Chain A
Amino acid sequence: MLKTKALIRFTFLGATIAWLVLVFSDVTILFSDIKGLKPDIPLWLPRVMLDLYVICLYYYYKLKIEQDESLNFTDLLWKVFATGLVATVISLAIRFVLYLLGNTKFVSNTLFGDIIYQINLALLISFLLAAFTSWKRLILYQKSKWLIRIWLAFEFGLLLVLVYDSINIVLSEAVSATLNVLLGVIAIVLSANMKWVAYLNFKQKWTSLLLLILIFFYLAYFFYTVTRQSAIISEQSTAFVDFSGHIFNLSLFAFVLTYSIFSFLVITFNLPTSSVFEQKLEEVINFQRISQSIQTEQNEESVYNILLESSVSSVFADAAWLEIQGAGNLPRLFTYRIDEQEARAIRDHLKSNNVKGVLDQGSDKTKNLSRHMSAMRGSRYRSVLAFPISVKGETIGTLALLKELPDGFNKEMTRIVSAFANQAGISIENFRLMEEAFQNARYKEELKIAKTVQQSLLPTKLEQDKDFEISAFSASADEVGGDYYDTLRINDHLVALIIADVSGKGTTAAFHMSQMKGIFHSLAQQHLDPKEFMQRANQALVYCLERGSFISASYFIIDSAEKKIRYSRAGHCPVLYLRAGSKESSYLKDKGAALGMVRSKDYCNYVEANEFGYAPGDTMVLYTDGITEAKDSKGEEFGNERLAEALNEVAGASAKEIEDNIIKRLYEFSGTKNINDDYTSMTVKFHG
């Protein structure tokens, strides 16, 4: 950036110095010529200085205008206009001063005239180069490889002309004519590049025309001034190079003028159609708005509002409404420049006149119903156009556009709004999908938390005793279940065991499981009879379990002093018990309703407690229904028999080995590692 600024200053300085040297040398040569003396400085100096001035200024404008990306089309024209204005004002100011001085001898002096001429020429060249650079940007707005080549050739041609001007080589008439024609053809070809005009809006076009008219004025003024002054001077001195002798200046002038004329004409002829182009552009922008509206955290409502706004502005409708079948199947009405009451009145009118397929959601045809509106009194609208909005092939709503004119909608408008409606359908669908994805992600996150909570509720260490060993296993499905097991030592010879299954899944299940854990830890310590335990647990849970939720549980107290087990079953899967003596396994199916099923003191009637003695080698398997209800590929359940078999196979083994065997058989049976319910088991092996 700094470098560019320095370069701009440097080129400007170069141009100024070159010009000062040019004026000084030219005046000297002219003076010598008038006095009939031989000048001390070479004759070519002014010409070379002029070249230098042109080149410096060319780069000055190149850096200033061509590199500035922020300029738009009218800005470019404005730059040219402003440069022209400054140049013209300076020139006119000089004229005014000369006028004030009157026809004195000093003013009519040739040398003074030359200085004035040089100032005017410098201003003209500066103005022309500014225009040249701006035109270059306009021409190359939509560039192709060929266009750039042609432009480069053109610039190169101009440079050659510039050099040719300053050296005294005279080409033959034919060659110079050919070159001139060639340059002219290139200039015209380049001037045909007017694509930028199409991007101007109506107001910009008018501005451009005005600016161009002023540019014409400057060009005319300078052309007149410069040719007149140079004619006067060249009458008095032969050493003076006439303006018309400068082919470069003339070429540049001709090119700037040609392109200005072309632009002027093209803009003029484009004026009547510019509104159409603007309209199309607006449609595109509106389309974009609809499709982008879902990306920017906007809700469905804003998609509807954008749709209403866009379609109304695209077809110059006077009002619109949108009826959408929202969540919960309640139709919602969005209105634009019409109140809800009026919209409903029109809808009812159409309905009562039995106009089929207008606003009924089943219609998938876009309809122009203007003729039905004329019958409606008290409404200012005379045309109505209705569109269905579909999501996934299902019509979810209707867009209705209204106009005060009869037959106000043409085919083209129908097509546009139909496209809008389609786009809106897609946007709404995308929006809903995104919502769904968000919901799923949130739900998954919640499940993850619930799973962590559930895992942390399970004991990391189980009570052991010289009389028995306990091994437990729990695998949970992706969906969080509510399986719970735990142990607690009541005193030196009593150990409490629990296994429970909370109905339902997800966070609520994990929450109830934590309540169950709390209940177990507080009640078990009190050394309650299992039946009493269940009653109290039920009483406690009645207040926290919501309607339809319950917890099945089995509670055991192992008494290693008396070698017996006292237990109570509350709706939980019957315990599998293997007697080492008879080598027979059986399920302990006692009476017992799950916790939370009976929400009164009557619960004591639905639960019982039992006890039995244990012998060394006996095994007790506690499990949840996830295991017995595990299915194979044919949909058959693992069941009680297979579970008992899995135990009997390794009857003499340790608790851990028995457990491993059960799990192995279970996975073999289901044939997959993906479980769809929680597997939980607790195996107790007695030694004593």
Chain B
Amino acid sequence: MVHIKRLQESGADIIAVIGEIDASSSIELDLAIAKSVGEGFKRILVDCHALEYISSAGLGVFMSYIEEFKDKNVTMVLYGMKEKVMNTFTILGLADLLLIRADRQEAKQLANELSV
């Protein structure tokens, strides 16, 4: 089960992911990101503080947006990941493909730099 919250902060969209993302709940994550993109946000921050587990389907969601974001010039930064979750990203090689930072401050900064 996953719970997704969205809030906007100085022009950036922050998507907070709470709980576990498996095959079925990955659809919710996908919807949330798609909605954010649809609303025209150029800076999307994903708060992973409360993310306990992510399955390959969940990783697939992040992966599927890489190309699209590149085309649309959207910056997505993930932050606050637990070590275990981070490990999953690293093993799959996603850590090199995605922008991952330790906390919100750093993530925000990176997003601001890149979107200029």
Q: Which residues of A contact B (CB under 8 A)?
A: 501, 503-505, 547-550, 552, 570-574, 589, 591-594, 597-599, 606-607, 625
Contacts and interface: CB of A to CB of B under 8 A. Distances in A.
Contacts of A597: 63, 66, 92-94, 97
Nearest to A504: B57
B64 interface: yes
A516 to B, nearest CB: 14
Contacts of B60: 503-504, 548-550
Interface of B: 23, 30, 56-57, 59-61, 63-64, 66-67, 90-94, 96-97
Nearest to B30: A548
A549 B30 CA distance: 13
B93 to A, nearest CB: 3
A593 B92 contact: yes
B91 A571 contact: yes
Contacts of A591: 93, 96
A571 B92 contact: yes
A570 B91 CA distance: 9
B93 A504 contact: no
Contacts of B57: 503-504, 548
A573 B30 CA distance: 25
Counting chain A CB atoms within 10 Å of each CB, the highest count among B23, B56, B63 belongs to B56
A280 to B, nearest CB: 50
Contacts of A593: 92-94, 96-97
B64 A547 contact: yes
Nearest to B92: A571
Given A503-B57, A548-B57, A606 B23 contact: no
B47 to A, nearest CB: 21
Given A547-B64, A548-B64, A574 B93 contact: no
B55 to A, nearest CB: 8
A240 to B, nearest CB: 101
25 contacts: A503-B59, A504-B57, A504-B60, A505-B23, A547-B64, A548-B30, A548-B57, A549-B60, A550-B59, A550-B92, A571-B91, A573-B91, A574-B91, A589-B90, A589-B91, A594-B92, A594-B94, A597-B63, A597-B66, A597-B94, A597-B97, A598-B66, A598-B97, A606-B97, A607-B93
Contacts of B64: 547-548
Interface of B is mostly: helix
A592 B67 contact: no
B34 to A, nearest CB: 11
B93 A501 contact: no
Most buried by B among A547, A548, A552, A606: A548
Given A549-B60, A550-B56, A504 B23 contact: yes
Nearest to A505: B23
Given A570-B93, A597-B63, 9 more contacts: A504-B60, A548-B57, A550-B59, A571-B92, A574-B91, A591-B93, A593-B97, A597-B93, A599-B67
A570 B96 CA distance: 12
A572 B93 CA distance: 9
Contacts of B61: 548
A589 B96 CA distance: 14
Contact of B93 (A547, A606, A625): A606
Contacts of B23: 504-505
A552 B90 CA distance: 12
A570 B63 CA distance: 14
A568 to B, nearest CB: 11
Contacts of B67: 599
A599 B71 CA distance: 13
Contacts of A606: 93, 96-97
A197 to B, nearest CB: 63
A630 B19 CA distance: 18
B91 A550 contact: no
Nearest to A574: B91
A108 B96 CA distance: 131
A548 B93 contact: no
A443 to B, nearest CB: 14
Nearest to B68: A547
Contacts of A501: 56
Given A548-B63, A548-B64, A550-B63, A504 B94 contact: no
B56 A504 contact: yes
B68 to A, nearest CB: 9
A597 B91 CA distance: 13
A597 B59 CA distance: 10
Contacts of B96: 591, 593, 606
B56 A503 contact: yes
The 6 A-B residue pairs with the shortest CB-CB distance, nearest first, are A593-B93, A548-B60, A503-B56, A548-B64, A571-B92, A571-B93
A319 B59 CA distance: 55
Nearest to A592: B93
Contacts of A607: 93
A291 B93 CA distance: 57
Task: Give the one of B64, B66, B93, B94 with max A CB within 10 A.
Answer: B93
A504 B58 CA distance: 10
A157 B115 CA distance: 112
Contacts of B91: 552, 571-574, 589
A240 B63 CA distance: 117
Contacts of A505: 23
Nearest to B67: A599
Contacts of A503: 56-57, 59-60
Nearest to A593: B93
Report which residue of A572, A574, A594, A606 has the largest number of chain B beta carbons within 10 angstroms of its beta carbon.
Answer: A594
A538 B21 CA distance: 26
B32 to A, nearest CB: 14
A552 B63 contact: no
A208 B5 CA distance: 77
Contacts of A570: 93
Contacts of A552: 56, 91-92
B5 to A, nearest CB: 22
A550 B91 CA distance: 13
A603 to B, nearest CB: 10
A439 B108 CA distance: 46
B27 to A, nearest CB: 10
Which residue, of A501, A503, A504, A607, has the highest number of chain B Cβ atoms within 10 A? A503
Contacts of A589: 90-91
A571 B56 CA distance: 11
B76 to A, nearest CB: 15
